[in-house]
Each structure stands twice: as C-alpha cells, then as structure tokens.
Amino acid sequence: MFTLELNPGQLTLQKLRRVAKEPVVVHFNPGCRQRIEESVATVKEVVAQGRVIYGINTGFGLLANKVIPTPELEQLQRSIVLSHAAGTGEMMSEATVRLLLILKINSLARGYSGIRVEVIETLMKLVNAEVYPCIPQKGSVGASGDLAPLAHMSTVLLGEGEVFHRGERLPGRRGLEIAGLAPITLGPKEGLALLNGTQASTAFALEGLFLAEDLFAAAMVSGSLSVEAALGSRRPFDPRIHEVRGHRGQIDTAATFSQLLEHSEIEDSHRECEAVQDPYSLRCQPQVMGACLDQIRHAAGVLLIEANAVSDNPLVFSDACDIISGGNFHAEPVALVADNLALVLAEMGALSERRIALLIDANLSKLPPFLVEKGGLNSGFMIAQVTAAALASENKSLAHPASVDSLPTSANQEDHVSMATFAARRLKEMGDNTAVILAVELLAACQGVDFRAPLKTSSKLEEARQLLRRQVPFYDQDRYFAPDIEKAKQLIRSGVYGAFVPEELLPSMGR
C-alpha cells in the first residue's frame, strides 16, 4: 500500500500504474478545497435564482425539458443513481474499481462539478478502507459517460448496492460501516456529477496500456532470444537504416534490440555465414515493434490527459457564475486509442507466433525439429505452436475497431456514442492471449539458445534466459506442457522484463 497525495489534474502514469497494482491511501492537497466549495456555492446560487439548468433542476437525456420543483431535487439525484444502475455481466476486479475511483476523485476534485467536498471524501474513505463498489463490466456505450458503471459505484454512497472488501462480497451499507461511513443524501447536481464521466472506460484503457507495455518489453526480450536461437543477423538493427526512415519508435526499438544482443558468442559463431537475409519476423522487428511503440506512446499521452480531465456535464465555472452543458462525457478519445492498443496487442502476438513457427521448422532454424531430441518419439513444441496460432487468430477478430460502431440511445437524443468501454475492456482478453503467445516464444527461444551450447548469448539475454530456467527446466523429452506455458506467462505478466529495456522507452515505466 502506498500513499497518494492528490493534486487534482496532476496524476502521472507512474502513479496510476501503482494504483492499478496495489491498494492506496489517498489524501487531498488542502489547496483544492476552495475551488470545490466555490463550484458548490455557484450551484446553490443558481437554484436560489430559479434558473433552469440541465441536470440540476431538469430531467435527464430526452427528459431534459422537464423542470423539477426545488423540493424534489434531492429525490431527482437519488433517482438518477438508482435507475441508471442497470449494468450486467461479471464484476470489475477490485484493482479496476480502485483505479476508477481514483480517476473519479481526481476529476471531481478539480472543482468544476458542483459536488461537495464531503461526497468526494466519502469516495476517498472507501478507497482507503479497501471497500470497492461492485460494478458490472457491461452496460456502457461510452456516452453520455459511463453512466451504468458509475451509477453502480454511486449506489454504495446511498447505502445501496454491493461492495468487495478484501475478496468478500458484502451489502453496500455494510461496506460503508467498514469504512466508518453512513449513507449520504445527494444535493443538486451531485448525482449527475458522479454518473457522468469516462472513468470506467479510462480505467479499462489504462489497464490495457500497462499490459501492452509489459508485453512489449517481454516481446523485445523473446524476439531477441529468437534472433539468437535462429542465428539471425544483427545488420537489420544498424541505426543507419532506421535514422533514414525517421520514425522515433522504430529508431528506439532498433537501438534496444542492439543493446540486448550486444557481445554474444552465438553471434560470433556465424558472423561470416552465407545467409543473405532473415525472414521478416526477425529482420523487420524494429519496423513492426517500432510502429507498436509509437501507438503505445500516443495512447499513453491521450489517456494521461483523460485521466486528469473533467468529463462530467454540465460544468460549473464559478468565476463567471456560469454552468454550461457540453459533451466532455463523450469518450471518443479513449475509444480510438483503445482500438489502437488492440491493434498493437494483435500485431505483437502475430509477429511472435511467426517466430515460433520459424524456430520449430528445422529447415529454417537449423535446430532439431519441434525443438526436441528424438523427434517422432517426442512431439516437442508442435502443439504449443498450434496454441499460439489459435490465439493469434482469435486476437484478429477481437481487434476489430469498436469505435466505428454506434447505436443511438435515449430516444435518439444521444445519437452518436463512442463504445469506448468495450473498446478498452476487451484489451485484457487480448493481452492474455498475447501473453500466452509470448510465453510459448520465450520457452521456444530459450530452448533454441540451449541447443546452441556451449556458445552463450549476450549477458542481458542470458540473465533473461535464467529467469525462465529457474522456473521451467530444459525440455529434454515430452512432458505435461501446459504448466510450462503458465509459468512463462506469469513471468511475463509480472512485468519483470521491463527491467531489460531502457527506462525511458515505455511511458509509464519511467520515473
């Protein structure tokens, strides 16, 4: 558990990565209270003046033309929370909800939402007590914000709904008691401020980003080991090739491959070989992985902005005593970069699977068929490659862009939506698939390098090989294969291979 002092609008990717991985105790920077209180005062003034403002004293969506009498404003806010809590499917993980809550607190604390400090502090106390609302994964189209997921989050504040607390599922009222809280009554606009926003989509997308970064680092290592196992050339990583093309990701990726492969006995053994060119899956790694890196970096920039954004509606501008209805809840920026991350995950897996196929093919790799002695008696990596191929193919279907789909909602008032929540949610499944593909490659490449003994690979790649070999021994004859893949997958998912690439290469891994 770590302590996060929240300066609203100044979250970093590094802090968000920690939030996604471990419990957090969050505190306000006291300086943010004044703006929050000013926005609440503006809402009160508008109500006192009798001005008709969407979401404060009107209905919602197509019912925005219905004016609600002042005595019913508290009921209006309670009703929107309960009626909008209509999600379905499996519950978000506690880690996802924790990230969502931090994003929501950060947005509300910027002071443009007209919500009281006490309500924001209630959310903070839930986080600090590790009490996480039960939020179904499905039911949002990413505009008008993530209404259903955030409504389920908000039911707990009213003493309704359910929570998770250290793995146990409990009634929402019991969750409040654990956090030392009681149900609250929402004031004008507060229910809408809680429900509007892109925090569910953004939480899913951030998790996808962090996973893509971990897998990218692992793919750099497994891809380098495959170069060694297949006696691949170093010349495709020559910086002059990449400088003249000019793509930053490609340049940085080629340099990283060169660093990983530096000073290898295996390379020295075939420096004067007759091979002219390697297959694309080896030779074009800087171009393909570099393009993936550019997309990861772009997605990181967009998601960092969104993580610090005010994305509810309407917004309160206290300096002018003005409340403006707009559309910051539309999660199109999140949807587009989530679609790009899906392509990244699919391409990293597709390239890795081709390297596996290369390594098990004795005609191409000059290694024992299927990477095992006594072929025929032993099948070796034959079906492990089939598993990788199946998952690579599955990812192709999952990579279809979600953002190009839109179904009107709220009786055509909300006639274009982003589908950002699904766009981001499917990244976990795709990442799991890619992690397995990379796990098979890691096993295959280390097996191939072992067959090159007594020649040794570079010091960095030898360290990476030993990380695997401490958990999975050399495949000397057929054995139950699935546990080997699972151990390699968990090693990759742990993020340990991030230490093998430059700290500045991936956005959330730097300081």
**Catalytic residue IDs:** 54
All residues at 6 or more sequence positions from 466 whose CB lies less than 8 Å from its CB, including other chains: none
Tokens of 247: 């793509």
Amino acid at 141: V
Sign of the CA dihedral with 490 first, then 492, 493, and 499 last: positive
Tokens of 448: 């191939």
What does the DSSP assignment read for 399-415?
A: TS-STT----BTTTTB-
Q: Which 3 state secondary structure label does DSSP give 100?
A: helix
Inter-helix orientation angle 285-307/248-261, to 10° = 120
425/81 Cα distance (integer angstroms)? 23
CA geometry: angle 16, 100, 334, nearest 5 deg: 80
Pick from 448, 447, 452, 455: nearest CA to 474: 447
Q: Which 3 state secondary structure label does DSSP give 231?
A: coil
Burial class of residue 265 (count of CB atoms within 10 Å of its CB; 0-12, 13-18, 19+): middle
CB 95 within 8 Å of CB 302:
no
CB 468 within 8 Å of CB 442:
yes
Residue that has been written with the tokens 């359910």 in this structure: 162
10, 130, 231, 336, 356 from 454: Cα distances, Å: 52, 52, 14, 49, 23
157/510 Cα distance (integer angstroms)? 36
